[in-house]
Amino acid sequence: MQDRIRISCSRHNLQQVRDFVRGFLLTANRSDLVVNQVVLAVDEVVANFIIHANGEDTNQFLDLLLVLAGQQLDIEIEDHGSTMFLPIGKTPNPDLRAYIQQGRKGGMGMALVSRIMDRVEFFERNSHTVCHLSKELL
């Protein structure tokens, strides 16, 4: 099964993205915990694209594609903005004690994504950034 959605680059659309991923996975009878983890991973990547890659420019948009084949979930998030955004390797193991001391707000999103998903890849396609997430749902 597969489904897709297109959103403009506003953080107010994050709820729509989460509802879309939840609906897709709940249809596939996945547990609440697993659904929440995957929803979180997608939310983090989409929020990064919206805020950091596109500066919340609502004229820009993202395409999300979810594909579930058996236990294998593949997710593709394509940013149609012109700025390349390749955050892989960024803060994979944040020092949270230091973050607390520094009063730091950000820097944990991609750590969550990499710990939840089996594979996280960012690459360029037709001058756009694409993020591919995959996970075997147990």
Partner 1 sequence: MKVTAQPTDTSLTLVLDGELDASSAVVLDTELNKSELLKYRKVLIDCQRLSYISSAGLGVFISHLQRLQDSNVKLVFFNMQEKVFNVFEILGLDSLMTIVPTEQEAQAA
**Residues 86-125: x/- map of binding to partner 1 (CB under 8 A)?**
--------x-xx-xxxxxxxxxxx-xx--xx---------
Find where tokens 């107010």 sit.
12
Where do the DSSP E strands lie in the chain?
2-8, 61-69, 72-79, 119-125, 128-136
117, with CB counted inside 10 A (0-12, 13-18, 19+), is buried
Among 30, 38, 43, 133, binds partner 1 (CB under 8 A): 43
Query: Minimal distance in Å, beta carbon 107 to partner 1?
Result: 8
State which residue, 34 or 130, has the beta carbon closest to partner 1. Answer: 34
Residue among 102, 127, 108, 93 nearest 41 (CA): 108
Q: How far apart are CA 120 and CA 111, in angstroms?
A: 11
Q: Write out the two tokens for 41.
A: 């991973």
Residue 67 or 108: the one with the smaller Cβ distance to partner 1 is 108
**Choices 43-51, 69-77, 80-88, 130-138 (CB under 8 A): range interacting with partner 1:** 43-51
Q: Closest distance between partner 1 and the C-beta of residue 14, in Å?
A: 5
Angle made by CA atoms 81, 86, 88, in degrees to the nearest 5: 150
85 within 8 A of 122, measured Cβ to Cβ = yes
Q: Count of residues binding partner 1 (CB under 8 A)?
A: 34
18 in contact with partner 1 (CB under 8 A): yes
By CB under 8 A, name the binding residues for partner 1: 11-12, 14-15, 18, 32-33, 36-37, 39-40, 43-44, 47, 50-51, 94, 96-97, 99-109, 111-112, 115-116
